[in-house]
């Protein structure tokens, strides 16, 4: 049982490391933001108040900050924690 725990711990550590390298945890902000999601790629999902759903918008990523503009001109920022 101890061997299983060691293997499981090693696998969890490797998975956590891989996720961190792919972008880590990001938090988005914008005026009227209902929900924002970003994982380190070329776009972020942004849902603003007054709209029934959100959309994916291109970002300009520089280090731990990604910025973009929605279709209605609202600027948003996503930062890595």
Q: How many CB atoms lie within 10 A of CB 57?
A: 18
Q: pLDDT tens digit string along 46-76? A: 999 999 999 999 999 999 999 999 999 999 9
What pLDDT band is residue 20 in, cutting at 50, 70 and 90?
Answer: very low
pLDDT at 76: 98
| Its pTM surpasses 0.85 | no
CA distance 49 to 19: 30
Could you give the C-alpha distances from 79 to 6, 21, 22, 45, 52, in angstroms and in order? 34, 15, 14, 14, 25
47/15: higher pLDDT: 47
What pLDDT band is residue 22 in, cutting at 50, 70 and 90?
Answer: low
């Amino acid at each position: 049982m101890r061997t299983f725990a060691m293997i499981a711990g090693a696998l969890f550590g490797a998975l956590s490391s891989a996720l961190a390298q792919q972008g880590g945890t990001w938090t988005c902000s914008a005026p009227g933001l209902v929900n924002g999601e970003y994982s380190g790629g070329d776009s972020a999902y942004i849902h603003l108040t007054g709209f029934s759903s959100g959309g994916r918008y291109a970002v300009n990523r520089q280090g731990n900050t990604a910025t973009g503009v929605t279709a209605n001109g609202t600027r948003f920022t996503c930062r890595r924690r």
